[in-house]
Amino acid sequence: MTALGIGDLAVPLVIVLVFLTAAVRRKDLFAVFLTGAKEGLSTTANVLPALVLLMTVIGMARASGLLDLLTDTVAPLAEKLGFPAEVLPLAMLRPLSGSGALAFFEELLGEVGTESYEGRVAAVLMGGTETTFYTAAVYFGAVEVRKGNGAIPAALTADFAGMVVSALAVRLFFQ
């Protein structure tokens, strides 16, 4: 039998803390839970249409060959920036879909290997960029934002910077 560490006790301690806090504050924990669950369902209902649209667009872009066309168009510029063309589809999918990007990332690592320049750039890109449109759809949908006031262009600029810096970081630290 192994000794329990603090990490093993974290979840049970949080649960006990929640029950103790509710008891001290004399709150009906069940009623609070039901209120939170109702709000969560309401938020899901508001966000779901945007997510369905986003997933449909991603599926259509991959199936129609649009993603390949965009990749082929951007590849010469990416090569000049030192960004490997093999990783471009990942860079284009990442702002749209975490699961789509993860699936492509797994395929890419199977082809180029984890120790290759392309594999390392892809790994840094996955860790250093965000699923911009997914995140915007969820958060803007949850609070019913109609105008992003520059949030999407700023986030896409950060994604582009993350793409360029991922290649630069791999060159600086691994080559």
In terms of pTM, does the model score above 0.75? no
pLDDT exceeds cutoff 70 at 2: no
Note the pLDDT of residue 174: 87
pLDDT digits (tens, 9 = 90+) for 73-116: 999 988 888 899 999 989 988 988 887 788 889 989 999 999 99
What pLDDT was estimated at residue 151? 84
pLDDT of 125 strictly over 80: yes
Spans of all domains in the chain: 46-174
- Cβ atoms of 131 and 81 within 8 Å: the answer is no
- The answer to whether 98 and 134 are in contact (CB under 8 A) is yes
Contact 103, 59 (CB under 8 A): no
